[in-house]
Amino acid sequence: MDFGSGMETGNFKPLHYNMPATFMDLAGRWNFIYWRNNRSEYERNNENIAISFIRYFDISKEEFIEANERFHQELFETGLSSSYNPLTQRYRSRFINYPVDLIFTFDNEAINEFFRWENSPTEHERNRGR
């Protein structure tokens, strides 16, 4: 399963900075990669990639929900969505779905708050933001 560039430094969880391949397919991988690599540093560090992606590629909520469900299915099929998987327990933020209703509010402040390390479900991840 391709999770993209794996940026895990900074104030936010990985899904703030990059998107799983399931979502890239909505725009075409090469289009997505070109666009992602040309985002400004300010945008990369301050706006969730999903918001920019939806706006730039004019992705509908229905399309995004469908991709989110496919991503969830991929996680399930690989066992990464299992609460019994030690990898999932330690790095839970890599294996979550996007909060679609929150993303489609386009409320950057609330979305950034959701993706901050200190708001992670596991202690290991909460400590990354310090």
Considering the domain boundaries, does residue 2 fall inside one? no
The amino acid present at 59, given as its one-letter code, is I
Considering the domain boundaries, does residue 26 fall inside one? yes
Give the chain's end-to-end CA distance (angstroms, integer): 29
pTM: 0.72
Whether the pLDDT of residue 127 is over 60: the answer is: no
Which residue range(s) make up the domain with 68?
14-129
Average pLDDT, the chain: 77
Considering the domain boundaries, does residue 9 fall inside one? no
What pLDDT, on the 0 to 100 scale, is given for residue 90? 42
What pLDDT, on the 0 to 100 scale, is given for residue 63? 97
Considering the domain boundaries, does residue 39 fall inside one? yes
Total domains in the chain come to 1
Closest by CA position to 90, among listed 114, 113, 68, 120: 120
Considering the domain boundaries, does residue 112 fall inside one? yes
- 15-57 pLDDT per residue, tens: 888 888 889 999 999 999 999 999 999 998 889 999 999 999 9
